[in-house]
Amino acid sequence: MKPAILFYSDTTQNAKIEYFIEGLSKEVTLIIVSSFNEVKRLIRKEDYSVYILLTNLDSFPSHWQMSELKAERTIMILNGLSQLNTMLLNSFLESLRTCVKRSSENPHFLQSLHYLDENYCDNELSLEKVASKAYVSKCYYSRIFQKYVGKGFKEYVIDKRIQKAKLLLQKGNSVTDVCFSIGYSDLTHFARIFKRIVGVNPSIYKSEYMNSEARLHG
């Protein structure tokens, strides 16, 4: 199933919205919503792999009780179409791209992917351990992982960890805490990988995000 963006739109900015829509991946469904009840109804149907709530306003309406959205598939809530938010969203969607590539022909492989998605922050995670969940050798698993997922096992884990790191940094967690919480034991190594993937080191990313949020709500 595809991921879905539930877009609460301010129609006074149609040009900006249209520009944003044109830049979306074809592997994501965009649904314009007009009320919180509509959001709840769509999420309850569970027709999509994940739901991302997005608005081009500085915030969602004050009467929207986000705590009522009790759905594991509600992953991200973003306010505004800032350059940083757009970059974050596109990066997140890229990490979800493999959702539509997973084959249902191999239930053991799907079981291993579920295990991986639950444990990718474990610093003792290994290819061999995940392969055992599919009851195959690590060499064979590496090949079928590339076939079904479209990227290597190591690259997949790194992408998942960095996306998690970005979300934790946005919440104000320290770079050191983020490093250890996503499975790395070497801060320098983490910072180097983060910069390679994101383009800036973790401390700069956190600072830029916090400054952007302060300007939006200041």
Q: What is the mean pLDDT of residues 43-64?
A: 78
**Does residue 168 sit in helix, strand or coil?**
helix
pLDDT over 70 at 171, yes or no: yes
* Predicted pLDDT of residue 184: 95
pLDDT tens digit sequence for 78-129: 777 666 666 666 666 665 555 445 444 467 887 888 889 889 999 999 999 9
User: Residues 64-67: contacts with CB within 8 Å, 24+ apart?
Assistant: 64/36, 64/39, 65/36
Q: Say which range, 67-71, 130-134, 137-141, has the weakest mean pLDDT.
A: 67-71
Instruction: HSE, CB side, 13 Å, CA atoms: give it for residue 108.
Output: 10
**Where residue 194 falls among pLDDT bands split at 50, 70, 90?**
very high
Q: Please give the span between the terminal C-alpha atoms of the chain, in angstroms, as a whole number.
A: 39
How far is the C-alpha of 2 from the C-alpha of 184, rounded, in Å? 30
CA atoms within 13 A on the CB side of 23: 13
The two structure tokens encoding residue 113: 């992917």
Composition of the chain by helix, strand, coil, percent to 5: 60, 10, 30
The model's pTM: 0.56
Percent of the chain at pLDDT > 70 equals 73
Task: Please tell us whether the domain made up of 156-217 is placed in CATH 3.40.190.10.
Answer: no
Domain ranges of the chain: 4-99, 102-150, 156-217
pLDDT value for 185: 93
Residue 65 corresponds to which tokens in the numbers above? Answer: 């009780």
Better-predicted residue by pLDDT, 27 or 150: 150
Edge-to-edge strands, sheet with 29-33? 29-33, 4-8, 51-55, 74-79
